[in-house]
Amino acid sequence: MTDPSLENQDRETIRESIRKGATFDRAHLLMNVLAATIASYGLFVNSPAVVIGAMIIGMLMGSIAGVALALVDGDMKFLLKSLSSLLAGVMGVMATALILGTIHKEMPLTNGILALTAPNLLDLMIALAGGAAGAYATVSPRLSISFVGVAVTTALVPPLSSAGILFARGEFDLAFGALLLAFTNMVAIQFAFSVVLGFTGFRRVIRTSGHSLYTFVKQNFVSITILLVLAVVLTSSLQRVVVRQIFETTTRFTLQKEINSSLGSRRTGRGAGSRIAFPPDDTKVELRVRFVQTEIINRDGPLYEDNDFRTSE
């Protein structure tokens, strides 16, 4: 299956563009360093808008596209070149984030940082769809503007930056979680790119072989194997998240109902000092109420004391 709207000359032009985009040079390094800087500060201040800006200017997607094209073409020399470019870009991003994380060690870990440390199956599905969209936008000149949207959808720089910041804090478990998210996105994007490039006619080796499907699977065997392993691991992670969310929601509802029933008309709230902590799933749940005695006074002294907290009649 090929795209009839693409001529051989167009494919060669696009192929050359992908090759140039996968080249590691000063501009490639500079843009990734700047992207990591923007992403790191965006994560520090918990600003999604700033993080999105970093996702747009990062140049890791070009190297991944180069890996995909090299696999489709069966070009081992270009494959090694693209992988080296990708690795150099990843190291540049992480080194920048590590330095910034060390400089700003006093800054707290924000929700933006922690949100990138627990990938699940949904992240894999997003990366596959984003990679396919990016590949199709690459081979369709009239859709090239949508490539910006793809860059926003498939996060590469933010999880790598999060990993660098966490390594600087010694939070190795969380850092490896962020690296797993970045790795998941890279593999999924590469595989989706390879599929789209193959189906749109970018397959020099496949066109000369009578076993197109077999050749494609053989060339992408490593990617397919990694994707299957990731699918199993991330499905388990998603299941744990769903089970915990159901448990927390059920427990929260039960506790709130019990609190309302036990305390009657007394005021309850979720102020700065109040919280509901959720134990592990196999732990027996016990209702415990922590309260603060209040007293209302004016210049003449106490008006009344809210100190009748008897638990029995």
Q: Is the pLDDT confidence value at 260 over 80?
A: no
User: Which phi and psi (to 5°) does residue 247 adopt?
Assistant: -65, -45
Chosen CATH of 8-219 out of 1.10.3470, 1.20.1080, 3.40.630, 2.40.50: 1.20.1080
User: What is the residue-averaged pLDDT of the chain?
Assistant: 78
251: exposed, middle or buried (Cβ count in 10 Å: 0-12, 13-18, 19+): middle
CA dihedral 155, 190, 230, 214 (to 10 degrees): 160
Q: How far apart are CA 205 and CA 72, in angstroms?
A: 7
Residue of 196, 164, 168 whose CA lies nearest to 178: 164
Q: What is the pTM of this model?
A: 0.70
The owner of tokens 């520090």 is 44
Question: For the ranges 76-80, 87-91, 182-186, 260-264, which has the lowest average pLDDT?
Answer: 260-264
Q: Is the pLDDT confidence value at 73 over 60?
A: yes
List the domain boundaries for the chain: 8-219, 244-306
Residue of 196, 189, 182, 94 whose CA lies nearest to 150: 189
Mean pLDDT of 295-307: 71
Phi/psi region, residue 292 (left: phi>0; alpha: psi -120 to 50; beta: rest), is beta
Mean pLDDT of 188-201: 83
- Structure confidence at residue 7 as a pLDDT band (50, 70, 90): low
Quick: pLDDT tens for 147-179.
554 555 567 899 999 999 999 999 999 999 999
Q: pLDDT: is 163 or 244 the higher one?
A: 163
Q: How far apart are CA 236 and CA 205, in angstroms?
A: 37
Q: Is the pLDDT confidence value at 70 over 80?
A: yes
pLDDT at position 206: 43
Quick: pLDDT tens for 10-19.
777 888 888 8
Q: pLDDT: is 278 or 209 the higher one?
A: 278
Quick: pLDDT tens for 129-144.
888 888 887 777 665 5
pLDDT at position 34: 93
Mean pLDDT of 75-89: 90
pLDDT at position 252: 79
